[in-house]
């Protein structure tokens, strides 16, 4: 048993595995890059880079699996099994740096929150909104505020209602179930092309999403209200929930949540962008988009904001490459546009990322490690070369003396 | 002075402010100003040139010198006219010079002067490169004898088909949702050729039109109403009109009254802006515009000052457009005779000024911080309206240009020199005061020095010498090779440094600059390797890579034919990250290519039996490959991670799987695989060499191939048409790899 374990450890620590992983990652990255001609970055990322396996046309390990294996290989082979001596100091330091990068990447993937906040001049905000997470919210509207209630279906569950799958939303105190189907990340509801198709003469059309962040995407899902435990066939009412930034919007009401009457009580259903609180309030005072003179090309975007944190205000200037960092949140200037009616607006990418500083530290560690390692090797090589040259020169002069003496 | 000939062939999408109809409208009733400017119908018949009057006098050296360093604002920066003329001519004819009708070679600035001030002459120069004659076949061009499939044509050759070319180009370019539009990436060579040729002809015409403002002259003989204002002058030029601008205010007022009398014209600037839309024909859009006008009228749009003149002309052109009748009715009734005449004069002048939009050559008054944008004739005219006349400095510059036009027309070169001296002096004084002239001299010096041309030549000479050493190894030939390589590298680096100083940027900010930097670094790298290893391969490869790299950079420059020191988009506006991330990654590219170059030596040595039995040589080649690849790994890795950090600092994501990021990662992964394979002992000398050649192929993918994918934030370069070259390169590399795998290895 111990030998088997040892062999497994050895296999995980081997150069062979390292090289195989590098080559496989190379293939994945190459295919994922080429595929971006035909697929959106978001789809490519999900299919190739954050997956365990993918198939085109043969099954192949995905980026996440390969990076996980690389982590094991690096830890076991590059740190534990490597001989710790002067000659390997640089390599060990480099490996520590790469490990930091991998761990930092994982922490970011798992624990960071990314979204945006869009402000007009003189507007304030203290919540930032997700690019791509849309929750279904069900609200019991009751004249008596005490009886008002909300149920949330998290975006992860909503997004599962695709490829013919049905997601049943049920809760003990919800008097009915909601069945979600036909989720589309970016969609439009249009008049149905053939009569009898869709719901109420409208059909849901999925549109390829073009951006990674998906800020401009409008998702949609089909919701059916059914009696508890019963199937779609017994639906009391069906309709499309279409995501909207302007509050609760469905195709039926135009502006507000889709309402469903159930046993005399009215309920609203809607698909809304998830948002998170920011621990301070930000007000956009002025935003500037400066162009290169005589051209339409932007030279600089910047925003002057006031950060109000618990009654204490301070002025901050956010510009490209110079974000605002405060209380673990980072505000980046990510967009600028002029609304014909409301004037200039700034979009800030808002990020909460516990491993924000890891890459810069890791990069320094890796750089130093590489310099130690290859510097030592170069010195050793030059030293050996000069010794070799000296020896040859000596040999040559020894050979030359008798030749000269004979002439 | 007669109307220049080329007016007739302007493209419809240009803001055609044709006064003809307007003058007919307003002046028909009054019988007023008869400017000597022909209207469009006259000019349309004048597309054949006058009989040649023998070769024109050449521009004196003094004029050429002054014109070279004349500051203009283009592509978002102040540059010497010589730079603009150079890349513009390059765009048209893919050459750095042009031959005039008497066989003399003109430098770009001389050509630009001719186009502006002697357009009849310039129209005969064969400046339009047509890559395939099918482009001309597509518009029914009747070929003259003696032209090759790929050849250069003059404006006179192409004038008969210009309109057809423009119309075709407009349908391909169209608005994104237009059915006839052809995506630039999917255009066939003929379609692309048509769009490019139509654009080039338009550039040429825009340059011709640039001097119209300075050639404007209106006769006052039959206009007694304006005699009081201009005294005994028989005719007036634009500068006179601006000098008496206040006295013509009632003309502006008359215009206002027309608009007031015809309320639906209030929002005609909307029409104007629609007409300006790329590829939009005002007539086609008229019905759509009419609906929008109605909508805007309800909101009460304000009357624009100067745009109204252009709008009037546009409306006049669009005779089918309903408000035109309204305008005519209003014109007949409006104002006293003097106001009408003033209006006619200003309208007549609006046209040539409106055409002068190509170059901004007049610095604005005041400090740079208060007003950054330089003035073209068009914006000068606009400003006169918004500010009630031209400021004295601008008036003086306009007078200088008028004098220059007159002198050039009469071939009076001493007067032309004086006029240009005055204009240059005023422009320089103002630009210097604004802090915008200090680098002009240096840029002209760089243009005249042509460092990359000389470096390429020196590398080529060095490479020839290398070949000589293979046959005849003499110490002095080796030394001469070193001398040529060093001289080439010195002038190459000098060119890069001068560009950095001019641009106030680190060496690499554009794809073009990567070619300069990578080739310089490769030459330096090979030279250093030669000093370390002393086995000849470094010295042989240095000039080879130098020549090849600068050849690619020259080709790229010719194809892109744009400002070689362009302004950067907002996110790139950071010298810190450009200096660290970009430089590191580029050094990584260069070092990998160096390693790949040496690895080729190893494979070729085995293939062709070079240095058979010289184990020492092979040992050095292997060591050099490994050492350089290790060096490359350091820079590729650190550079790639720095790129992630930059992205993290700029918009909060470390890694976005963008193609260029992936390209960098591919290089790092390939290098890691090779180096770990060597450490693990399953890649020996041959394996490392072949792996390194693979790394080189990946570098080329990341450097050039990724840009051809046409996706991602980093696709900064125009690189269409390079696929063939890349595929050929990868094909050859695949053969080399195959040969390396199957070749019999030395014992």
B37-91 confidence digits (pLDDT tens):
223 333 333 333 344 455 678 899 999 999 999 999 999 999 999 999 999 999 9
How far is residue B632's CA from residue B622's CA, in Å, rounded to a whole number?
Answer: 15
User: Which residues are CB-neighbours of B533 under 8 A, at least 6 positions away?
Assistant: B620, B623, B624
How far is residue B93's CA from residue B95's CA, in Å, rounded to a whole number?
Answer: 5
Q: What is the mean pLDDT of residues A213-231?
A: 81
| Residue among B164, B169, B199 at smallest CA distance from B187 | B169
**Based on the number of CB atoms within 10 Å of its own CB, is B479 exposed (0-12), middle (13-18) or buried (19 or more)?**
exposed
Mark yes or no for CB contact A360/B645 under 8 Å: yes
pLDDT digits (tens, 9 = 90+) for B721-732: 677 888 999 999
First to last CA, chain A: 77
How far is residue B598's CA from residue B596's CA, in Å, rounded to a whole number?
Answer: 5
Query: Most confidently modeled of A268-277, B130-139, B709-718?
Result: B130-139
Q: How far is B698 from chain A (nearest CA, A)?
A: 10
Mutate to test the interface with B, among A293, A324, A332, A382 (most CBs of B within 10 A): A293
Mutate to test the interface with B, among A294, A341, A362, A395 (most CBs of B within 10 A): A294
Q: What is the mean pLDDT of residues B262-288?
A: 44
Higher pLDDT, A227 or B7: A227
Q: What is the mean pLDDT of residues A179-207?
A: 82
Q: What was the pLDDT predicted at B611?
A: 86
Q: Which long-range contacts does B457-462 make (Cβ < 8 Å, 24+ apart)? A: B457/B488, B458/B484, B458/B485, B458/B487, B458/B488, B458/B491, B459/B484, B459/B485, B459/B488, B459/B523, B459/B542, B459/B543, B459/B544, B459/B546, B459/B547, B459/B550, B460/B543, B460/B547, B462/B488, B462/B542, B462/B543, B462/B546
**Residue B340's pLDDT band (cuts 50, 70, 90):** low
Go through chain A and tell me how many residues it has. Answer: 407
Surface of A (32-51) touching B: CB under 8 A: 32-34, 36-37, 41, 44-45, 49
Q: What was the pLDDT predicted at A251?
A: 45
Residue among A212, A301, A332 minimizing CB distance to B570 = A301
Q: Which helix (H) or strand (E) holds B74?
A: strand B71-74
The region of weakest confidence among A171-175, B51-55, B361-365 is B51-55
Q: What is the mean pLDDT of residues A372-400?
A: 88
Q: How far is A116 from chain B (nearest CA, A)?
A: 11
Mutate to test the interface with A, among B73, B569, B591, B676 (most CBs of A within 10 A): B676
Q: What was the pLDDT predicted at A243?
A: 82
Q: What was the pLDDT predicted at A189?
A: 79
Residue of B nearest to A46 (CA): B657
Question: For residue B372, which residues of chain A lie inside 8 Å, CB to CB?
Answer: 293
- Count residue pairs from A and B with Cβ separation < 8 A: 160
Q: Could you tell me the two tokens for A141?
A: 């509207």
Task: Check: CB of residue A20 under 8 Å from CB of residue A72.
Answer: no
Q: What was the pLDDT predicted at B330?
A: 53
Q: How far is A15 from chain B (nearest CA, A)?
A: 5
Question: For residue B361, which residues of chain A lie inside 8 Å, CB to CB?
Answer: none
Task: Check: CB of residue B691 under 8 Å from CB of residue B622.
Answer: no
Residue A61: φ, ψ to 5° = -65, 140
How far is residue A397's CA from residue A404's CA, in Å, rounded to a whole number?
Answer: 10
Q: What is the mean pLDDT of residues A261-268?
A: 80
The complex's ipTM?
0.85
Q: How far is B51 from chain A (nearest CA, A)?
A: 40
Mean pLDDT of the residues in chain B = 81
Task: Check: CB of residue B361 under 8 Å from CB of residue B326.
Answer: no
Residue with tokens 């790469």: A98
User: Which residues are CB-neighbours of B492 under 8 A, at least 6 positions away?
Assistant: B451, B452, B455, B516, B519, B520, B523, B546, B550
Q: What was the pLDDT predicted at B218?
A: 87
- Bridge partners of residue B290, in order along the sequence: none
pLDDT digits (tens, 9 = 90+) for A319-351: 888 899 998 899 999 888 888 778 899 999 999
| Residue among B410, B417, B397 at smallest CA distance from B59 | B417
Residue among A18, A49, A300 minimizing CB distance to B657 = A49
Residue among B567, B644, B662 minimizing CB distance to A33 = B662
Q: Could you tell me the two tokens for A68?
A: 């996980």
Query: Most confidently modeled of B15-24, B164-173, B399-408, B603-612?
Result: B399-408
Percentage of residues in chain A having pLDDT higher than 70: 93
Residue of A nearest to B364 (CA): A293
Mutate to test the interface with B, among A21, A22, A393 (most CBs of B within 10 A): A22
pLDDT tops 50 at residue B367 = yes
Q: What was the pLDDT predicted at B329?
A: 54
Kindly state the DSSP code that residue A89 receives in the 8-state scheme: H
Mark yes or no for CB contact B712/A363 under 8 Å: no
Q: What was the pLDDT predicted at A42?
A: 80
Q: What was the pLDDT predicted at A254?
A: 45
How far is residue B116's CA from residue B110's CA, in Å, rounded to a whole number?
Answer: 10
Mark yes or no for CB contact B654/A351 under 8 Å: no
Surface of A (189-228) touching B: CB under 8 A: 212
∠ CA A18-A358-A73, nearest 5°, is 15
Residue of B nearest to A355 (CA): B654
**Based on the number of CB atoms within 10 Å of its own CB, is B440 exposed (0-12), middle (13-18) or buried (19 or more)?**
buried
Task: Check: CB of residue B594 under 8 Å from CB of residue B549.
Answer: no
Mark yes or no for CB contact A19/B670 under 8 Å: no
Q: What is the mean pLDDT of residues B161-180?
A: 80
Q: Which long-range contacts does A111-114 make (Cβ < 8 Å, 24+ apart)? A: A111/A353, A111/A354, A111/A355, A112/A351, A112/A352, A112/A353, A112/A354, A112/A355, A113/A276, A113/A351, A113/A352, A113/A353, A114/A213, A114/A349, A114/A350, A114/A351, A114/A352, A114/A353, A114/B652, A114/B653
**Residue B274's pLDDT band (cuts 50, 70, 90):** very low
Q: What is the mean pLDDT of residues A271-290?
A: 91
Q: How far is A203 from chain B (nearest CA, A)?
A: 24
Q: What is the mean pLDDT of residues B552-578?
A: 87
pLDDT digits (tens, 9 = 90+) for B518-551: 999 999 999 999 998 889 999 999 999 999 999 9
Q: What is the 3-state secondary structure (H, E, C) of B403-465?
A: HHHHHHHCCCHHHHHHHHHHHHHHHHHHHHHCCCCCCHHHHHHHHHHCHHHHHHHHHHHHHHH
**Residue B176's pLDDT band (cuts 50, 70, 90):** low
Q: What was the pLDDT predicted at B190?
A: 86
pLDDT tops 70 at residue B178 = no
Q: How far is A211 from chain B (nearest CA, A)?
A: 10
| Angle at which helices B537-560 and B615-651 cross, to 10° | 40
How far is residue A313's CA from residue B464's CA, in Å, rounded to a whole number?
Answer: 71
pLDDT digits (tens, 9 = 90+) for B84-122: 999 999 999 999 899 998 899 999 999 999 999 999 999
For residue A316, count other CB atoms closer than 10 A to its CB: 17
Q: Is A384 on the interface with B (CB under 8 A)?
A: no
pLDDT tops 60 at residue B683 = yes
Q: What is the mean pLDDT of residues B122-150?
A: 89
In sign, the C-alpha dihedral spanning B91, B97, B101, B103 is negative
Q: What was the pLDDT predicted at B51?
A: 40
Kindly state the DSSP code that residue A144 receives in the 8-state scheme: S
Cross-sheet strand order for the sheet of A220-227? A167-169, A176-184, A220-227, A237-242
Q: What was the pLDDT predicted at B254?
A: 60
Q: How far is A20 from chain B (nearest CA, A)?
A: 8
Mark yes or no for CB contact B654/A108 under 8 Å: yes
Percentage of residues in chain B having pLDDT higher than 70: 77
pLDDT tops 90 at residue B306 = no
- Report the predicted TM-score, pTM, of the whole model to 2 decimal places: 0.84
Residue among A32, A297, A359 minimizing CB distance to B648 = A359
Mutate to test the interface with B, among A44, A292, A388 (most CBs of B within 10 A): A292
Residue among A297, A367, A370 minimizing CB distance to B76 = A297
- Secondary structure class of A60 (helix, strand, coil): strand
Residue among A30, A212, A294 minimizing CB distance to B656 = A212
Q: What was the pLDDT predicted at B231?
A: 83
Residue with tokens 């060096």: B631
pLDDT tops 90 at residue B580 = yes
Rg value, chain A, Cα:
30
pLDDT tops 90 at residue B449 = yes
Q: Could you tell me the two tokens for B15?
A: 């803001």
Higher pLDDT, B264 or B122: B122
């Amino acid at each position: 048993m111990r030998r088997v374990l040892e062999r497994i450890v050895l296999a995980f620590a081997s150069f062979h595995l390292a090289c195989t992983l590098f080559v496989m990652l190379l293939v994945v990255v190459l295919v994922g890059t080429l595929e971006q001609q035909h697929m959106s970055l978001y789809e490519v990322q999900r299919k190739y880079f954050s997956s365990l396996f993918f198939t085109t046309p043969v099954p192949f390990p995905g980026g996440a699996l390969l990076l996980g294996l690389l982590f094991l290989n690096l830890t076991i082979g590059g740190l534990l099994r490597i001989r710790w001596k002067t000659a390997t100091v640089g390599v060990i330091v480099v490996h520590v740096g790469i490990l930091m990068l991998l761990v930092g990447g994982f922490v970011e993937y798992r624990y960071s929150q990314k979204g945006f906040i869009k402000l007009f001049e003189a507007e304030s905000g203290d919540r930032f909104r997700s690019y791509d997470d849309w929750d279904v919210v069900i609200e019991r509207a009751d004249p008596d505020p005490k009886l008002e209630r909300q149920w949330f279906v998290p975006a992860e569950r909503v997004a599962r209602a695709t490829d013919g799958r049905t997601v049943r939303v049920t809760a003990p105190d919800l008097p009915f179930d909601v069945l979600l189907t036909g989720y589309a990340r970016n969609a439009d509801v249009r008049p149905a092309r053939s009569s009898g198709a869709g719901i109420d003469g409208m059909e849901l059309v999925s549109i390829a999403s073009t951006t990674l962040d998906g800020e401009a995407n409008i998702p949609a899902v089909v919701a059916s209200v059914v009696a508890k435990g019963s199937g779609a066939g017994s639906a009391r009412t069906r309709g499309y929930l279409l995501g909207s930034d302007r509050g609760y919007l469905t195709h039926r009401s135009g502006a507000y949540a889709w309402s469903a009457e159930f046993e005399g009580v009215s309920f609203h259903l809607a698909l809304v962008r998830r948002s998170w609180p920011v621990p301070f309030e930000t007000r956009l005072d002025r935003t500037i988009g400066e162009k290169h003179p005589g051209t339409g090309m932007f030279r600089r975007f910047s925003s002057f904001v006031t950060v109000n944190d618990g009654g204490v205000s301070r002025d901050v200037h956010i510009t490209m490459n110079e974000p605002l960092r405060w209380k673990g949140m980072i505000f980046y200037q990510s967009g600028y546009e002029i609304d014909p009616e409301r004037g200039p607006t700034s979009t800030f990418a808002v990020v909460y990322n516990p491993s924000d500083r890891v890459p810069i530290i890791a990069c320094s560690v890796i750089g130093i490690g590489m310099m130690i390692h290859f510097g030592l090797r170069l010195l050793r090589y030059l030293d050996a070369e000069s010794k070799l040259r000296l020896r040859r020169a000596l040999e040559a002069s020894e050979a030359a003396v008798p030749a000269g003496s004979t002439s | 002075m007669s109307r220049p000939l080329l007016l007739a062939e302007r493209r419809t999408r240009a803001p055609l402010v044709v006064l003809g109809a307007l003058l007919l409208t307003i002046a028909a009733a009054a019988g007023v100003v008869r400017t000597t400017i022909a209207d469009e119908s006259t000019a349309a018949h004048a597309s054949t040139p006058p009989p040649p009057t023998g070769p024109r006098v050449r521009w004196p050296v003094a004029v050429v010198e002054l014109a070279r360093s004349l500051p203009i604002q283009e592509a978002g920066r102040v540059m010497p006219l010589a730079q603009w003329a150079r890349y513009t001519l390059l765009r048209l004819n893919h050459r750095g010079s042009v031959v005039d009708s008497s066989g003399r070679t003109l430098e770009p600035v001389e050509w630009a002067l001719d186009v502006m001030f002697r357009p009849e002459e310039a129209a005969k120069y064969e400046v339009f490169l047509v890559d395939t004659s099918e482009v001309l076949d597509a518009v029914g061009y009747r070929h003259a004898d003696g032209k090759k499939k790929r050849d250069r044509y003059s404006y006179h050759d192409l004038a008969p088909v210009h309109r057809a070319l423009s119309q075709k180009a407009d349908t391909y370019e169209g608005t994104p949702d237009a059915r006839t539009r052809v995506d630039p990436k999917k255009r066939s060579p003929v379609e692309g050729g048509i769009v490019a040729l139509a654009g080039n002809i338009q550039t040429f015409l825009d340059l011709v039109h640039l001097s119209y403002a300075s050639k404007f002259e209106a006769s006052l003989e039959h206009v007694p109403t304006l005699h009081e204002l201009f005294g005994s002058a028989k005719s007036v030029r634009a500068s006179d009109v601006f000098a008496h601008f206040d006295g013509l205010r009632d003309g502006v007022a008359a215009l206002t009254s027309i608009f007031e009398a015809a309320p639906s014209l209030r929002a005609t600037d909307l029409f104007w802006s629609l007409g300006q839309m790329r590829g939009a024909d005002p007539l086609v859009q008229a019905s759509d515009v009419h609906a929008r006008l109605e909508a805007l009228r309800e909101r009460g749009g304000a009357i624009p000052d100067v745009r109204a003149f252009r709008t009037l002309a546009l409306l006049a052109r669009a005779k089918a457009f309903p408000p035109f009748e309204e305008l005519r009715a209003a014109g007949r009734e409006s104002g006293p005779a003097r106001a009408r005449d003033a209006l006619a004069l200003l309208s007549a002048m609006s046209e040539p000024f409106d055409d002068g939009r190509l170059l901004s050559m007049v610095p604005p008054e005041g400090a740079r911080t208060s007003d950054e944008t330089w003035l073209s004739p068009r914006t000068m005219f606009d400003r006169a309206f918004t500010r009630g006349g031209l400021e004295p400095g601008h008036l003086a510059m306009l007078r200088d240009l008028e004098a220059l036009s007159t002198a050039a027309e009469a071939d009076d070169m001493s007067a032309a020199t004086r006029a240009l001296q005055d204009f240059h002096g005023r422009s320089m004084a103002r630009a210097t005061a604004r802090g915008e002239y200090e680098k002009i001299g240096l840029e002209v010096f760089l243009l005249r020095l042509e460092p990359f041309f000389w470096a390429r030549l020196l590398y080529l000479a060095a490479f020839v010498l290398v070949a000589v050493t293979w046959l005849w190894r003499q110490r002095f030939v080796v030394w001469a090779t070193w001398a040529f390589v060093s001289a080439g590298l010195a002038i190459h680096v000098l060119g890069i440094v001068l560009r950095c100083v001019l641009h106030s940027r680190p060496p690499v900010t554009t794809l073009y600059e990567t070619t300069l930097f990578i080739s310089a670094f490769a030459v330096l790298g090979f030279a250093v390797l030669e000093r370390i290893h002393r086995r000849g391969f470094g010295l042989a490869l240095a000039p080879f890579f130098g020549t090849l790299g600068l050849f690619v950079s020259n080709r790229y420059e010719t194809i892109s034919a744009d400002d070689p020191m362009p302004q950067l988009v907002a996110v790139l506006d950071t010298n810190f990250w450009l200096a660290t991330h970009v430089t590191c990654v580029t050094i990584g590219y260069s070092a990998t290519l160096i390693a790949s170059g040496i690895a080729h030596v190893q494979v070729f040595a085995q293939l062709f039996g070079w240095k058979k039995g010289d184990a020492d040589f092979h040992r050095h080649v292997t060591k050099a490959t490994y050492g350089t690849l290790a060096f490359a790994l350091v820079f590729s890795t650190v550079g790639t991670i720095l790129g992630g950090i930059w992205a993290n600092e700029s918009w909060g994501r470390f890694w976005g799987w963008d193609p260029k990021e992936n390209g960098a990662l591919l290089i790092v992964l390939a290098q890691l695989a090779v180096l770990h394979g060597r450490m693990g002992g399953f890649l020996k000398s041959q394996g490392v060499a072949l792996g390194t050649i693979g790394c080189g192929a990946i570098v080329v993918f990341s450097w050039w191939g990724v840009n051809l994918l046409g996706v991602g934030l980093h696709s900064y370069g125009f690189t269409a048409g390079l696929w063939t070259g890349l595929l050929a390169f990868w094909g050859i590399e695949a053969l080399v790899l195959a040969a390396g795998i199957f070749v019999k290895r030395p014992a």
